[in-house]
Structure 1
Amino acid sequence: MSTITLWIQLENEPSPEKYTPNGLSATADLADFAALLCQDIEAFSKLKGRDLQFFTGGDHIPLLVDTLLTGVPNNSAENPLVIRYPLSSTPGIGHAPAYYWIVASPSARGLQKIRGVTTQNFTLFTIWDGDDIEDEFQLNAIVEETSPKQKKRETSLGIKIEGKKAYGEYTLKEVSRLFVKEEWNNIGNAPQFDIESLPQVEPQSEPTDTEYKYFIDSLKNWDSIFCGEIPNEATARCFISIFMGCAILVVQRYLSQCKQGYHPKDLRLLVEEMLSGSRGYGPIDYLVKYMQLVVMVNEA
């Protein structure tokens, strides 16, 4: 029995490896090879040979299962035999490990911005039943069970962070203690903001005619663009940005005229900004910062 050695690469792995299919003869084909892999590789232990697909190079068409191992074209470290698993009945859905990585990797990168969160202490879960998704095979099973609509499959996933509670689990007393160092049993205990208590606005801080015109024109233009309709949050943000942006322009102009040593970058508007200590709540929609002091936070 002659020895066959192939360069193989699992589709989710960064590099190929040399593999010797012990026990197979020179007349073995990819069907025989698939059955052996399911016995020999732990990641395939719950699969059957028919669950595997084989590709070479940049080809998108899988090799036929009766392709002889000795006939795998141009097999080398630069052109390994690529193994995809398991199959999905919907075109465009990749093998499970790659699909899991595509979903989890962007989530992990975003969560790393939050203090105390690492890629090891968050879990994906399904929104409709709350079940955790512990590995790529569970995720692929969920995708398989989701009925395709117009050749697409849609499912809703959430993220749980170890040691952090969901929004809905916090009481008003806990929230008030965290953010204002007071304990409110109901919203009526919260202090009320009285705009009349603010200092009188200095004349030079009033918007100029040019600034008023820019503000009104901007609102009219966007209202025309959207045909007077605001169907979702993304559309609303276009209008919110006008209010926020014009207010910043007025204050920047006032400070540049009246405050010595003022630098144009001292006052700025930030969008989708991560705050240290946000406790995993995600980015702030709009944040106004004066030098290093946060003076206003706004949620769209």
Structure 2
Amino acid sequence: MKDRRTFLKQAGLVGLAGMLPVNSLLADDLKENTFINTEKSDSKWADGSRLVVSVSMQFEAGGQPVNAESPFPQNMQKGFVDLPGETWYQYGYKEGIPRMLDNWDKLGIKVTSHMVGSAVLKNPELAKEIVARGHEAAAHGMNWATEYSMPYETEKKFIKDGVDAIKKITGFQAVGYNANWLRRGPNTLDILQELGFKYHIDDLSRDEPFLIKVKGKDFAVVPYTIRCNDIVLIEGKNFSADQFVSQVKLEFDQLYKESETKRRQMSISFHDRIGGTPQMVAATNEIITYIQQHKGVSFKRKDEIAQMAYEDKSVIRE
């Protein structure tokens, strides 16, 4: 694959949003290496995958509130701005996502990017590029507000504003949702169903997708992870990149064994200002390359996984 600089030069991203149809993909990119070492097995996945891997790339930097949580001590005096903390977030869109995008191309996989609406509006060209390179744009709220305490109509506007920002900039109609720190409220799923969403990820209860009933209709759950998640481990300052590699490999090995007899999905999550650092991109490359050496493993965007769940009559229903 070409690197990011070549891609930008050849693609001519200016004005791209208006040219992209809803949920458009680069057809060649979607086909390219999404299924690794294909081998038919006794898989529970309809497409013959033995194990499906779902990678998330959070696009949040630029949408955070003043003095948002960071690796720096949370001891700022009232009335002052945490300036080094601001630069930590800036790294996410200046270096992190561009580096990850090149790595995904190198590895030949497509990911789901959960996008905060205000971050998209602040860095529109980067948001356009994510979609133009074949990745899914999923909604992640308009900003970092506490969603679970919002009244119904307030939350509905909050979610819709984020979706509208993504659509306006990228042309992509988001069908997946992730609440801030997964903390959805009692009305969230009803709102998502009402707004036309197809799935959410704010659930840690299974290692495979499943369907639930929301407002009398099917709604897909594509489980997320806090185990294989850089913000829980690396940003917590008590975990190193090599430990992350080891942990994710252990997770994969166990799920791969289980996938001989049951449907298994593995989730891995990266954040712009953490997963996009040089050490973590190197770690990610090692992890994905290791996984790709195993037969029957496919990498899928979360919208693809959700669609498979809807179409599979054997999927778990709750």
TM range (shorter): under 0.3
Q: TM-score, normalized by length of structure 1?
A: 0.23
Q: Answer with 1 or 2: which has the greater Rg.
A: 1
More helix per residue:
2
User: Which protein has greater RCO, CA pairs closer than 8 Å, 6+ apart?
Assistant: 2
